[in-house]
A and B are shown apart, each in its own frame.
Chain A
Amino acid sequence: MAEVEETLKRIQSQNGVQGIIIINSEGIPIKTTLDNASTVQYAGLIHQLVMKARSTVRDIDPQNDLTFLRIRSKKNEIMIAPDKDYFLIVIQNPSD
């Protein structure tokens, strides 16, 4: 448990990080640094997006698979590291 918290603290201390969410394979948030309402919103929307992105990559080339997803918007950037059981979502504002 302590290692998990420490890892999250290390990520949080990077430049401009606004929030971290860890969701499981069903899209239910496990750990978060944001408030509940935002967390649930991010979890639901991003889970669907990652599934769609992954199926897109695998349809183009069945030997290929999704390793990382980045969404850049006007105000911030969302980075998603997918895995079999969990997704790690980090929201960063790069100009900070």
Chain B
Amino acid sequence: MFTDEAQEPVSIRSAWRTSQQSAQDSIGCQTRAVHSAEAEVQTLSTAVSWTQTQPHDEAQELLLQPAADRLDPPGLKAFLQRVEDTVIRELDRNGRSHAFDEFQVNWEDQSQPVSCLHCLQHPSAQERGLHVTSVSWSCTGSVIACAFGRTDDGDWITEPSCVCTWNLDRRGLNPKQADLVIDVATAVTALCCHPQQPALIAGGLYSGEVVVWDTSRTQDPVLVQTGMSADSHREPVYQVAWVPLQKAGEFGVLSACSGGRVLLWTGDLNEGRFVLNAAYALVPQQVPHSSYVSFKARGSSTVGVTSLALSPWDPDTFLVGSEGGLLLRCSFSSQTPAAVPSEGHNVTLRAPAVFVFRPRSGPVHSIHCSPFHRNLFVSAGTDGRAHLHSLLQADPLLSLRVSDSSVFQVQWSPSRPLVFAAAAAQGEVHIFDLGRRSLRPAATIEQGGADQAATCLAFNSQNSHLLALGRTNGTVCIWQLSHDLTEQSPREISQLEQIANQVAA
């Protein structure tokens, strides 16, 4: 009857539904193959080198110094035997020969003995009619410092003056304009540059003050000053000098004034003031006895000091020249107290005079000790003569006539033992050479009349051919000396010894 029938399903394909599967493509990419190569480097040969500076005593290797027991090089003995006689004969003959006694060769070409290099002026000082009172070279030899003031006024000077410096080695040297101008309240009467530090200059003023300027400071060049204390001078300071103190490298300033006082100051840099280290007072009663000096004690209770000189050979000695013409040798270490009423000084005054030389008739303007002989010094004053003294006797060894008027300054040359220069009030400067037979000057710098008096001069110890000269018309001239005034000849020291030994027994 009825049976189950299993029919196969019937499927109808969708007409609208399509496969969502998108078209698919397969693509691949690949970079090209990278080229690589391998190579090796290897040094085949090596070399090592180094340099080294040769030490100075390499030279020792050149010297073959045979030990005492080694044989001399062959033939040395025979060689010496051959030449010994000849050499000894020549040596002997040479020692006795006079062939070359006066023979000198001049390699430098110098036509004139002196020639003017520069003429330096400070216009504002010249307008005020100031004179140059002192010149000093710095220790390096390239800077010249000049002090302005007056040398002829008897009145108290109240007008301000200045100190100017010029550096001669600079390219842009302007003779009419100073490199550095330091204004000072009163006239400057003495100037001295420090012997080791080029920036320090010590000056003495007309008011009695002693000042040290430091030219390396731009703001206020005054480094130390004495001020008007009870210790300081009351009279114009005519000379300042740097004195080496006990401690090496330290210097004090020695100042001498016409009030008869010589004071040694040490600078206290913190305070900016000077501290009195030692004080010496010169009074006529304490001048050593001598047949020349008669006591004219009335009217003059002090020995006004106008010039001072330190001895480069003996640190204890200094020489003093006075207004009355006295010339004294003094000692720093003298202990005799001075016979002056104590005026509230902190340091006791001492009388330093040890020996008196033959006095002059007028003020002694300048003294200078010879840098080549320990006993000689030269002095000059208003009598127009330069006197050569030895420390050992009172009379001068030699008196040379310089000019008819007074001589303001004498100074020994730093390079030639027999030469010194003297500046006269009539404006000429004479340079004397003691090695010459005649007593006339070896060279003369002529210029002008009484209005251009030469007041001060200074040799340059570094460049010994330069000489600075200050005049009353406010100019400083730098002169160049020729070869034979500056080059030392072989026999000069022995000639100087001979002159010094003329001391009467």
Contact = CB atoms under 8 A, between A and B. Distances in A.
Interface in B43-99: 57, 59-60, 62-64, 68, 71-73, 75-77, 79-84, 86-88, 90-92, 94-95, 97
Given A1-B72, A81-B83, A83-B82, A68 B491 contact: no
Contact of B91 (A4, A15, A39, A85): A15
A88 B62 CA distance: 17
A69 B81 CA distance: 18
B490 A74 contact: yes
B60 A14 contact: no
Interface string B150-175: 00000000000000000000000000
Contacts of A88: 79-80, 83, 87
B332 to A, nearest CB: 37
B104 to A, nearest CB: 8
Interface in A38-95: 39-40, 68, 70, 72, 74-75, 77, 79, 81, 83, 85-86, 88, 90, 92, 94-95
Contacts of A7: 80-81, 84
A16 B95 CA distance: 7
Interface residues of B, number: 33
23 contacts: A3-B80, A3-B81, A4-B72, A4-B76, A4-B77, A7-B84, A10-B84, A14-B92, A16-B95, A22-B76, A28-B63, A37-B59, A40-B63, A68-B86, A68-B90, A74-B489, A81-B86, A81-B87, A83-B79, A88-B87, A92-B91, A92-B95, A95-B491
Contacts of A40: 59, 62-63
Contacts of A32: 63
Given A30-B64, A74-B490, A75-B490, A85 B79 contact: yes
Contacts of B64: 28-30
B100 interface: yes
A86 B90 CA distance: 19
B63 A70 contact: no
B76 A30 contact: yes
Contact of A86 (B79, B88, B97, B494): B79
Given A7-B80, A7-B81, A10-B84, A30 B73 contact: yes
Interface of A: 1, 3-4, 7-8, 10-11, 14-17, 22, 24, 28-32, 36-37, 39-40, 68, 70, 72, 74-75, 77, 79, 81, 83, 85-86, 88, 90, 92, 94-96
A22 B81 CA distance: 13
B68 to A, nearest CB: 8
A17 B490 contact: no
A74 B68 CA distance: 37
B88 A94 contact: no
A10 B79 contact: no
A74 B492 CA distance: 12
Interface in B176-230: none
B90 A79 contact: yes
B490 A79 contact: no
A28 B264 CA distance: 58
Interface string B431-447: 00000000000000000
Given A4-B77, A81-B86, A85-B79, 6 more contacts: A4-B76, A11-B87, A68-B86, A81-B83, A86-B76, A92-B91
The 7 A-B pairs at the shortest CB distance, nearest first, are namely: A15-B95, A81-B83, A14-B91, A40-B59, A7-B80, A86-B79, A94-B94
A36 to B, nearest CB: 6
B82 A36 contact: no
A31 B94 CA distance: 24
A15 B92 contact: yes
A7 B93 CA distance: 18
Contacts of A77: 94
B88 to A, nearest CB: 6
A29 B63 contact: yes
Q: Which of A30, A79, A94 has the most CB of B within 10 A?
A: A94
A72 B103 CA distance: 11
B252 to A, nearest CB: 39
Nearest to A40: B59
Nearest to B74: A85
B100 A14 contact: no
Contacts of B94: 77, 79, 92, 94
A28 B490 CA distance: 32
B62 A28 contact: yes
Nearest to A74: B490
Given A1-B72, A36-B63, A86-B79, A10 B88 contact: yes
A90 B87 contact: yes
B73 A24 contact: yes
Nearest to B86: A81
Contacts of A28: 62-64
B83 A83 contact: yes
A84 B95 CA distance: 28
Contacts of A29: 62-64
Contacts of B83: 81, 83, 88
